[in-house]
Amino acid sequence: MQKYKLWIDGKWVAGKGGKMSIENPATGKPIAEVVDAAREDVDKAVQAAHNAFYDGRWSRLTPGARSLALWKLADLVEKHAEALAKAESENTGKPYKFVSLGADMPFVIDNLRFFAAAARDTHGSAAGEYAAGFTSMYRREPVGVVGQIAPWNYPIMMAVWKFGPALAAGCTVILKPAPGTPITTLMLGELIKEAGIPDGVVNIVTGGNETGQALVEHPLVRMVSLTGSTGTGKKIMKTAADTLKRVHLELGGKAPFIVFEDADPEIVAATAKLASTFNTGQDCTAATRVYVHKSKEKIVRDAIVETMKSVKVGDPFADDIEMGPLISATQRERVVGFVDRAKQAGAKILTGGKTVKGAGYYFEPTVISSAKQADEIIQSEVFGPVLTVSTFKDDDEAIALGNDVPYGLAASVWTKDIGRAMKVARELEFGTVWINDHIPLASETPHGGFKQSGFGKDLSAEAVGDYKITKHVMVKNT
């Protein structure tokens, strides 16, 4: 069984904390052991990032030099993609074919190449005489040392979405992966060094929530970037207030999937299946709430139930598998609890709703009807392969129901009427609105929330901008 240390200042460090066992959710068996970093380990990592920032070994490099190192890292990740994909699949239970060829590894490599390019962006610099006799200039400088805290649902992708834009901006980072899924993030440590990114620029500290808390409290950390649940985002924002850190929060979601009467039921059902079972529904943008015009309720609902019944669930390394297990026993209990409480509140389970017998944390793709808008199953993030189907009578009601949750991360609208699609997209309070699709993203497109889904963007040039701070330099002309 592989044993990992902490990655601090460009080397493996034993750490003072205890040990954590890492398991494979498809079998429930341990696969690795990592350090549960103590407060002093976090301090050591922050000091390394602080020194690396202030001696300018990264922050004062030209954007071109930073870009080249990020590009080399992308090449190295590509070279080691198969080993990374296997480790990711084993640590998360994601179908291997999706990690290796589908969403994860090819996207991660493209994300790194995008951030390498974005490091060289000159957009937005300006200089001018705004007060008589003075020239004003604006410097976009890196924020400094950034604490970055990741979730378990896309471990390597979330790591890259965190350090990619921060490094492009010239920051140095301490990255804490989620407690259960640190393997691929740790595997990046040596590749980062090999790419020529100086020691101390990226430090990887494994551990649980207390390790994260120590990072957020640390006075030398200037900014905290979290991808995680809305509850964790609120706690972090409160803690960060004590030292007035900047916060960048990518939080939970509860995406509506709004189907008008002119949409094709077969296409709608096929996408609803993919968007609710991809990554076993453990996706912050997953389709979770289908709202269908009441004239098409039966045909759309029946088509969705049929496609959900067809999802191939099982061993992540089998070729024809579409959905693996949930991430842990705890997460499966959570999903079971949501479904049981929905039933008690009067909802009907049209398919699924049960755990799959045997090893691993499998749960059936599930469709629920007759839930009321105020019910927990409509209002709260489940993070499992569970869809509700409800109806609406007109456009205004579709918009009102879609918006009626605390979250605002992603939504989709299904109609052939472009005017209606644009109107509904304008009214929906979500950071991403898809028209006639649900799930795709590109490295260039900003991803982030409205409302209690947080603020700040991942991906895109906006993400790089979030790790910069503007300095005004004023020169007296005479």
Catalytic residue numbers, as ranges: 250, 284
CB of 139 to ligand NAD, least distance (A): 29
DSSP, collapsed to helix, strand or coil, labels residue 372 as coil
Residues that bind ligand NAD (CB under 6 A): 149-153, 176, 178-179, 208-209, 212-213, 216, 226-229, 232, 235-236, 250-253, 284, 381, 383, 409, 449, 453, 458
* Residue 445: CB minimum distance to ligand NAD, A: 13
Question: What's the number of CA atoms in the CB half-sphere (13 Å) around residue 344?
Answer: 7
Number of Cβ within 10 Å of residue 294's Cβ equals 14
Q: Do the beta carbons of residue 162 and residue 150 sit within 8 Å?
A: yes
Look up residue 221 and give its two tokens: 């950390």
Helix axes 155-169, 104-118, angle to 10 degrees: 10
| Side-by-side strand order, sheet with 2-3 | 2-3, 29-36, 18-24
Tokens of 287: 């389709």
* Interhelix angle 230-241/209-217, nearest 10 degrees: 30
- Nearer residue to ligand NAD within complex by CB, 67 or 184: 184
Nearer to ligand NAD, 51 or 229 (CB): 229
For residue 253, the minimal CB distance to ligand NAD (Å) is: 5
Strand segments, DSSP code E, in 337-399 are 348-351, 366-369, 386-392
To ligand NAD, the closest distance from the beta carbon of 364 in angstroms equals 21
- Three-class SS string for 99-126? HHHCCHHHHHHHHHHHHHHHCCCCCCCC
Smallest gap, in angstroms, from Cβ of residue 82 to ligand NAD? 24
Is the Cβ of residue 92 or residue 232 nearer to ligand NAD in the bound state?
232
Which single residue brings its beta carbon nearest to ligand NAD?
A: 212
Measured from the CB atom, the residue of 183 and 398 that comes closer to ligand NAD is 183
**Of 58 and 363, which CB lies nearer to ligand NAD in the complex structure?**
363
